[in-house]
């Protein structure tokens, strides 16, 4: 174990916990804890949105996917970049405006305020979707840390997972949304540095060894040298759509991403955030693609035992120890930012949607804050257990969660934002269709033909429209709704 790398990582972990302690010492209200209380600038929210979305799937899963599939993986990264652009151009300001109008903290909170006749049912179904999928998502993130620290530093997976889980739970529990966003902003910078620096170093290495990228791709076989994976006809369309379908997850359905849009303060912040997020996406996704391709060139298709470890493997092979520590923090940053954001989403769903609204518990702000912190801790511990037990591929598991949560809420949100005839019954139908069809889809041969990410959103949209036409909303509803907190 390199002592310099270890010291750098310890300093990084201490800094993350320090941010949590800093915000915990401030007077945090309930809305501050869960959505920042209009105290966060647009650029920080943009960096937070990027890092909380990217997670282990980008630095480990997607780079491994590019390493194993070659040039055809480009459609994955194009799809993700398209999703960023669409979400910031057409959805970010809308989320901000609707949050202000309805005084909402969560996606179920907003949909319930928008359709109060079905409010409690929407909240209950929304929580049923968010809590299990995001707890699984958190566990997957923790599991990714164990693999990474084992690959780079020889730390046993159990120890690595425990370290990251404790750090994430502590700073999320202490400072809530404020500490999560500001740690995310730092982590986003580390992540993009990692994704830019490593492929540049790899390209210089390839040049010094006089290797040919095109020859390496041809030698790898399995269509790695083809932008269409060597497929023809319908197969090309399915390949492109399957990879491009990751863009659909950005269409308003991911609660941890949409929360950043809801927290925007004004149009100026939305514009600054848009520019920062798109620039980050171009650099990060371009770098992730190049890491896969350059890794394949340097080491061959069988160069690493686990393809999802290609990035950490390249770090230790190509860079000096002091730089490995800094860039390794970039990988851990991706994991920690997503895990902390999703812990907060689950906590908010439990305290706000279930206890405060569905069950109608008359709690003051201090009591709700305490429940929120307890929820973060409990869900974090469950995620820790999942991380220790999980053997599934990061790319696959996160793809399931991306569809299960994202497609369910995306259908409801898109129809509510842009179709005047959407009804509360339609929202319920869209949520249930997206959720149930994803579970069925991923457990049948259909997943091997068309990914659930690209199929279940369409199903949820269609069912949402049909049910809204069959069961329309009865009357115009009020434009605002009080949170109804008992302040003492």
DSSP secondary structure letters along 344-400: HHHHHIIIIIIIIIIS-----HHHHHHHHHHHHHHHHHHHHHHHHH--S-HHHHHHH
pLDDT mean over 354-366: 78
Rounded CA gap, 438 and 403, in Å? 7
Provide the 10 A C-beta neighbour count for residue 396.
13
**Closest to 262 (Cα-Cα) out of 53, 37, 92, 411:** 92
Per mean pLDDT, which of 44-48, 187-191, 345-349, 472-476 is the most reliable? 44-48
Q: What is the pLDDT of residue 486?
A: 45
User: 45 vs 104, 108, 179, 485, CA distance in Å?
Assistant: 18, 21, 12, 26
Structure tokens at 353: 């949607």
- Which residue intervals of 209-222 are DSSP H helices? 213-220
Structure confidence at residue 396 as a pLDDT band (50, 70, 90): low
**Residue range 26-35, pLDDT digits in tens:** 767 777 887 8
For residue 394, what pLDDT band results from cuts at 50, 70 and 90? low
pTM over 0.75: yes
Task: Name the percent of the chain in helix, strand, coil, to the closest 5.
Answer: 80, 0, 20
**Is the Cβ–Cβ distance between 435 and 408 less than 8 Å?**
yes
Angstrom distance (rounded) from CA 225 to CA 223: 5
Is 261 in contact with 269 (CB distance < 8 Å)? no
d(C-alpha 134, C-alpha 127), whole Å: 10
Give the dihedral of Cα atoms 332, 333, 339, 343; nearest 10 deg. 130
Residues 6 or more apart from 471 whose CB is under 8 A from it? Answer: 423, 425, 426
Lowest mean pLDDT among 176-190, 224-238, 381-395: 381-395
Q: Are 69 and 229 in contact (CB under 8 A)?
A: yes
Residue 113, both tokens: 């305020």
Judged against a pLDDT cut of 80, whether residue 202 lies above it is answered with yes
Tell me the pLDDT band of 214, cut-offs 50, 70 and 90. very high
Give pLDDT, residue 370: 85
Of 191, 183, 163, the residue nearest 16 (C-alpha): 183
The average pLDDT across 82-95 equals 93
Angle at 143 between CA 141 and CA 146, to 5 degrees: 120
Q: Which residue has the higher pLDDT, 401 or 486?
A: 401
Q: Residue 306: is its pLDDT beyond 50?
A: yes
Q: Distance between CA atoms of 150 and 15, rounded to whole angstroms?
A: 22
Distance between CA atoms of residues 388 and 158, nearest Å? 7
Mean pLDDT of 28-43: 84
pLDDT at 101: 92
For 455-485, the pLDDT digits (tens) are: 888 999 999 999 999 999 886 544 444 454 4
Given CA atoms 172, 175, 181, 182 in this order, what sign does their dihedral have?
A: negative
pLDDT band at 25 (very low <50, low <70, confident <90, very high): confident
Average pLDDT over residues 10-23: 86
Q: Give the span between the Cα atoms of 169 and 176, in whole angstroms.
A: 10
C-alpha atoms less than 13 angstroms from C-alpha of 149 in its C-beta half-sphere: 24
- Is residue 484 classed exposed, middle or buried when 0-12, 13-18 and 19+ CB atoms within 10 A define those classes? exposed
Please tell me the least confidently modeled range out of 108-112, 299-303, 318-322: 318-322
Please count the CA atoms within 13 angstroms of the CA of 477 that sit on its side-chain side: 21
pLDDT, one tens digit per residue, over 378-392 is: 888 888 887 777 655
- d(C-alpha 92, C-alpha 259), whole Å: 10
pLDDT at site 399? 63
Banded pLDDT at 74 (limits 50, 70, 90): very high
Q: Are 92 and 273 in contact (CB under 8 A)?
A: yes
Calculate mean pLDDT across residues 412-437: 94
The alpha carbon of 304 is separated from its chain's Cα centroid by a whole number of angstroms, namely 26
Q: Tens of pLDDT along 246-291? A: 777 788 888 888 999 999 999 999 999 999 999 999 999 999 999 9
CB 129 within 8 A of CB 289: no
Is the distance from CB of 407 to CB of 133 less than 8 angstroms?
Answer: no
Please determine, for residue 56, whether its predicted confidence score (pLDDT) is greater than 80: no
Task: Please tell me whether residue 1 adopts helix, strand or coil conformation.
Answer: coil
Residue 455, helix vs strand vs coil: helix
- Rounded to the nearest integer, the mean pLDDT of the chain is 85
Query: CB of 437 within 8 A of CB of 459?
Result: yes
pLDDT at 368: 78
| Class of the domain covering 3-391 | mainly alpha
pLDDT value, residue 429: 96
CA-CA distance, 109 to 115, in Å (whole number)? 10
């Amino acid at each position: 174990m390199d002592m310099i790398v270890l010291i750098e990582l310890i300093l990084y972990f201490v800094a993350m916990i320090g941010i949590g302690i800093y915000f915990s010492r401030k007077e945090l209200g309930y809305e501050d804890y869960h959505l920042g209380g209009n105290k966060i600038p647009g650029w920080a929210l943009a960096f937070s949105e990027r890092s909380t979305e990217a997670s282990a799937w980008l630095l480990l899963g997607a780079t491994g996917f590019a390493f194993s599939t070659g040039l055809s993986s480009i459609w994955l990264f194009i799809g993700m970049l398209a999703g960023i652009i669409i979400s910031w151009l057409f959805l970010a300001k809308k989320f901000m405006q609707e949050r202000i109008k309805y005084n909402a903290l969560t996606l179920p909170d907003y949909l319930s305020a928008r359709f109060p006749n079905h409010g409690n049912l929407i909240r209950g179904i929304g929580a049923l979707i968010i809590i299990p999928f995001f707890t699984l998502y958190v566990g997957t993130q923790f599991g990714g840390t164990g693999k990474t620290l084992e690959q780079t530093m020889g730390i046993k997976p159990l120890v690595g997972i425990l370290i990251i889980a404790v750090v994430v739970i502590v700073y999320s529990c202490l400072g809530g949304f404020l500490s999560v966003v500001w740690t995310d902003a730092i982590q986003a910078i580390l992540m993009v540095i990692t994704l830019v620096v490593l492929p540049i170093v790899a390209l210089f290495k390839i040049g010094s060894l006089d290797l040919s990228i095109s020859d390496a791709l041809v030698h790898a076989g399995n269509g790695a040298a083809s932008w269409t994976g060597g497929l023809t006809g319908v197969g090309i369309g399915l390949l492109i759509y399957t990879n491009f379908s990751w863009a659909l997850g950005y269409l308003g359905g991911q609660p941890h991403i949409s929360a950043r849009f809801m927290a925007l303060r004004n149009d100026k912040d939305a514009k600054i955030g848009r520019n920062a997020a798109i620039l980050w996406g171009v650099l990060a996704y371009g770098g992730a693609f190049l890491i896969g391709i350059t890794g394949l060139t340097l080491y061959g298709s069988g160069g690493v035992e686990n393809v999802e470890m290609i990035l950490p493997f390249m770090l230790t092979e190509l860079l000096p120890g002091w730089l490995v520590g800094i860039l390794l923090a970039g990988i851990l940053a991706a994991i920690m930012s997503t895990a902390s954001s999703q812990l907060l989403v689950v906590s908010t769903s439990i305290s706000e949607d279930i206890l405060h609204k569905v069950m109608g518990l008359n709690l003051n702000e201090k009591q709700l804050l305490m429940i929120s912190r307890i929820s973060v801790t409990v869900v974090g511990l469950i995620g820790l257990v999942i991380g220790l037990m999980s053997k599934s591929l990061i790319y696959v598991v996160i793809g399931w969660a991306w569809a299960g949560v994202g497609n369910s809420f995306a259908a409801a949100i898109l129809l509510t934002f842009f179709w005047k005839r959407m009804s509360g019954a339609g929202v319920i139908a869209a949520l249930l269709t997206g959720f149930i069809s994803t579970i069925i889809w991923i457990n049948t041969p259909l997943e091997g033909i068309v990914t659930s990410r690209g199929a279940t959103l369409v199903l949820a949209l269609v069912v949402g429209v049909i049910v809204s036409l069959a069961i329309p909303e009865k009357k115009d509803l009020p434009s605002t709704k009080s949170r109804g907190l008992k302040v003492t």
